[in-house]
Amino acid sequence: MTVEVRLERVSKSFGGVRVLRDVDFDVRAGEVHALLGENGAGKSTLIKIIAGVHAPDTGLIHIGDQQFRALSPREARKGGIATVYQELLLFPELTVTENIFLGNAPRGRLNMLDWQQMRRRARQLLDSLDSPDLDVDAKVGSLSVANRQRVEIAKALSQDARVVIMDEPTAALADADVERLMAVIKRLRERGVAIIYVSHKLPEIFALADRVTVLRDGALIGTRPIAEVTEQTLVAMMVGREIDHMFPKAEAAIGETILKVRNLSYGQRVKDISFDLRRGEIVGVAGLVGAGRTELALTIFGITPADSGTIEVDGKPVRILSPRQARNLGIAYVPEDRGLQGLVRPMTIAQNTSMAALRHVASGIFISLTREARQAVEAIASLGVRARGPDQVVAQLSGGNQQKVVLGKWLETHPLILIMDEPTRGIDVGAKAEIHALMSRLAKEGMAILMISSELPEVLGMSDRILVMHGGRLAATIDRADATPETVGAAMTQAGAAGVAA
């Protein structure tokens, strides 16, 4: 098999932080090469270097027999490389045909667009992807995610791509669509297309890949034929240590119930949820994407107030209609997306830290900047934020440190209840362990923590109890003692068929 693309000792840093170190990687015609690694391992950077989005600091890129120090997106496309990104880059107001041929439309007489040929070829491409049901004249905005993805793949094929990069293509797909996508990928492979497949879903990788490459902290851990690895070896390569040691939930005295949720509902995403949360307890919320976990958090925190159901905080029934009310009741929410709901990026660490509890650093109506800075210095020290000082702008911090600042902001409100949504997504392994240790410490000090996480090892390691959501409902409540990847996984995928009903 011919090697289509090869990276040779490629390194890349952003703002002084190494994200890739001397990585070798190649993909051959007619193979699916899976790229595996934890969030922040460097997968995205690697594929963006191949796609011409980022230029490597050192190293070489070989395409066929050509050699590059860096690629422009144009050169990558001319080299036959196409990317299907996680966030699909299509134009919702244009039709399927228009999207497929945008930028490389066939021309007819007088250099005018040849619409008939375009529509015919779009039809052929989609048929070859097992999608005869997809209308070439439909607006892309009206299509489902799965169909949009097929349009994106068809677009790649229309450019005669020899290498197709797929970044977490199944992240937002339902099971049936995943199977259809897998069939499409196998078909592409039979045609001799080289596929780089980024995913952290191991079953898919075993079903599809010919070879797998694991990255960790920007370094190449290894490239193996799929037949030579098992799930265990892959997990060990990814995390670099035993899972048991990664998620230390320290023993904490479980106290009285502090949050009591009964029959809580909001729209279609939160249906009839009931659970208790006690002091010193970490309750994990597991579920697939779209199971309604974040929506549950937003409802409790008052961003999307509940349609029905009751909430009691510390024994008192409350109606939470705004985040302000939730905050005043002692509820804190560290959001899934730090950039969106967590940080004010142009502000300094000190200003972000004090934002939710300004009165703690104010005398009368005026903020004491000295007290605010002192508070930030304490937070920086106790949370281990790596920063120049309290007056550094948070936009300049790395993901893990930004997360610590968001956490620090909410700890300044002295909450009774801390909701953490994907607390370690997109941050490095070291910072992850630090955040887990912090959560343990907070629980030990009597805080009640509700932790939403998509990483099963994290849920299993940190939680005293696990709530499993499916389709907006509570599918199961599983105690720490009964929680295994199998029981939780089963409850995540088949509502009501496993676990102990709530």
Partner 1 sequence: MSVEAAPAFRPRRSGLTRFVSAYGQEIVIACAILILFAVVSLINPRFLGANNLNTIISGNAYIAVAAIGMSMIIITGNIDVSVGALIGVLATISGTLAVAGYPVWVAWGAPILAGAAINAVVGALVAYGKIPSIVVTLGMLSILRGGLVSITGGAWISNLPPDFLLAQQRLLGVPAPVWFMVICTVIAFLWMRYSAFGRSLYAIGGNSEAARAAGIPIERRIVEVFAIHGAIAGVATILFATQLQIIQSTVPPNLELTIITASVIGGVSILGGTGTVIGSTLAAILFSAIGAGLIFVNVSAYWLRAVIGLLILITVLIDMLRRNRETRQASR
**Which one of 359, 360, 414, 441 is in contact with partner 1 (CB under 8 A)?**
359
Question: Site mask, partner 1, residues 42-81, x = CB under 8 A?
Answer: x--x------------------------------------
Between CA 223 and CA 46 the distance in angstroms is 14
Per the DSSP assignment, residues forming a β-bridge with 82 are 164
Between CA 466 and CA 478 the distance in angstroms is 5
Closest of 430, 33, 431 to residue 240, by C-alpha: 430
**Amino acid identity, position 269:** R
- Pick the closer one to partner 1 by CB: 60 or 303: 303
Q: Does 40 bind partner 1 (CB under 8 A)?
A: yes
Shortest Å distance, C-beta 83 to partner 1: 18
Between CA 152 and CA 100 the distance in angstroms is 7
Contact 423, 334 (CB under 8 A): yes
- Pick the closer one to partner 1 by CB: 176 or 340: 340
Question: Site mask, partner 1, residues 290-309, x = CB under 8 A?
Answer: -----------x-x------
Interstrand relation of 465-470 and 448-452 (parallel, antiparallel or unpaired): unpaired
Closest of 399, 381, 144, 77 to residue 390, by C-alpha: 381
Shortest Å distance, C-beta 20 to partner 1: 9
- Window 380-419: residues binding partner 1 (CB under 8 A): 380-381, 384-389, 391, 393, 395-399, 402, 409
Q: Does 472 bind partner 1 (CB under 8 A)?
A: no
Between CA 164 and CA 192 the distance in angstroms is 11
Between CA 104 and CA 315 the distance in angstroms is 64
Shortest Å distance, C-beta 372 to partner 1: 10
Shortest Å distance, C-beta 255 to partner 1: 26
**Which one of 103, 132, 315, 346 is in contact with partner 1 (CB under 8 A)?**
346
Shortest Å distance, C-beta 293 to partner 1: 17
The 10 Å Cβ neighbour count of residue 147 is 19
- Count of residues near partner 1 by CB under 8 A: 61
- The stretch among 38-46, 174-182, 190-198, 465-473 that binds partner 1 (CB under 8 A) is 38-46
- Token pair recorded at residue 410: 């909410």
**Polymer length of the chain:** 502
Shortest Å distance, C-beta 221 to partner 1: 13
Between CA 486 and CA 200 the distance in angstroms is 17
Between CA 344 and CA 347 the distance in angstroms is 6
Q: Does 241 bind partner 1 (CB under 8 A)?
A: no
**Amino acid identity, position 286:** A
Footprint of partner 1 (CB under 8 A): 14-15, 17-19, 40-42, 45, 217-218, 301, 303, 322-324, 326-328, 333, 335, 339-347, 351, 355-356, 358-359, 362, 365-367, 369, 380-381, 384-389, 391, 393, 395-399, 402, 409, 428-431
